[in-house]
Amino acid sequence: MRVTIDRLGHLGDGLATVPEGTVFVPGVLPGEVVEGDLNADKLTNVRIVTPSADRIKAPCPHARTCGGCQLQHVADSFVEAWKASIVSSALAAHGLPAPIKGVATSPPHSRRRAVFSARRTKSGVLIGFHARSSVTLVAIPECRLLHPDLMDVVTGLQELAMIGGSRSAELSMTVTRSEAGADVAVTGGKPLDSELRMALARIVEKHQFARLTWEGEVVALRDSPIQRFGRAVVTPPSGAFLQATLEGETALLDAVREALGPQQRVADLFAGSGTFTFPIAEFAEVHSVEGDAAMIQALDKATRNTQGLRRITSETRDLFRRPLQPDELARFSGVVLDPPRAGAEAQTRCLVLSTVPVVAMVSCNPITFARDAGILVSAGYALDWIRVVDQFRWSTHVELVARFSRPS
């Protein structure tokens, strides 16, 4: 079958319209004419007949087999425009404008956190990422996405898998770059016993990992795996949320600062371990609210050990079930919202009943962002501007910061 690609879907596949309906075609671009074999609603064995001017040679040699990236065949300028259009389309579905002012894209080799999969084989250990929509593991020795420090720990991860994995199960290894070395959390491994504990500790020391967590238990701590948020030195709990790249975190923070402006009393909701709390506390009092008690404990400890900040208070609270109420919000002149993909509908509905003049909303899901934005705008807030942040380079993931304000 020969088709012309109309547009890209939200997962990065090309969409083409044929008499039978919509056909999904991986690895193509709008305007391209392609041929392939039709299987159900997908085109396989795809051949590009007429390439797009936006098509480039994938920079990574693993691009065709690894499922970690979906857009390596696309020019950066196209990806930026496409990601901005995803935000615009989501807002248009709610009748909202999309005042987007720029896209900030993280550079190659910048991802500081990754989840590797590993499996023991007859010849050793295979470690890498899954092929797209497959259980097949693909080794990625020349990955162009991950920070070099993460690539440097692969040998150590292989040793962990060799002694702690089995031929019948796959290990999941979350690795986070820290100033003290790799922070590694493993699930799917053998049950811990004294012999395995000692062997794992030797690997941690040999490869200078900062911390190793095995099935939720810290089994070796060579040094605190610290992160810096503004002036604060924070040790997040194992597996805690961290922005994917330092460059992406900086872009988000710059936009949040700009959105808040001169506000002096700020509520940081879904605060994590203090990504925004500590930089904001350099110019404003901050009340940080987070549902994970371990992250609040890390934030509190860093607060006690950091000088030169305005007052920081904190609270462990499930904002989905118990959002801050209008009377609690009354003392704040600015609110930062950084919810997970589900968004912050319950908290947003309380915000519109408050007198908070400025809201900086950080989102990793344009669909739930548009829903929450619609709630704010319908209650009188203005959507002043949006900045798109692409820290998941070569993926279909989109993040953003938006400023909302109430007319005085």
Q: Is 43 left (phi over 0), alpha (psi -120 to 50) or beta?
A: beta
CB-CB contact of 332 with 287 (8 Å): yes
Beta strand extents in 258-352 (DSSP E only): 265-269, 285-290, 312-316, 334-337
In the annotation, is 364 catalytic?
yes
CB-CB contact of 236 with 304 (8 Å): no
Half-sphere exposure in the Cβ direction for 228 (13 Å, CA)? 6
DSSP 192: P
State how far the Cα of 402 lies from the Cα of 269, in Å rounded to an integer: 15
Please tell me whether residue 42 adopts helix, strand or coil conformation: strand
State how far the Cα of 61 lies from the Cα of 70, in Å rounded to an integer: 13
Which of 160, 162, 127, 123 has its CA nearest to residue 146?
127
DSSP 111: B
State how far the Cα of 142 lies from the Cα of 129, in Å rounded to an integer: 12
Burial of 107 (0-12, 13-18, 19+ CB in 10 A): exposed
State how far the Cα of 337 lies from the Cα of 343, in Å rounded to an integer: 9
Q: Which of 69, 143, 350, 364 is catalytic?
A: 364
The greatest distance separating any two alpha carbons of the chain, rounded to the nearest whole angstrom, comes to 69
CB-CB contact of 386 with 62 (8 Å): no
State how far the Cα of 176 lies from the Cα of 112, in Å rounded to an integer: 6
Active site residues: 364
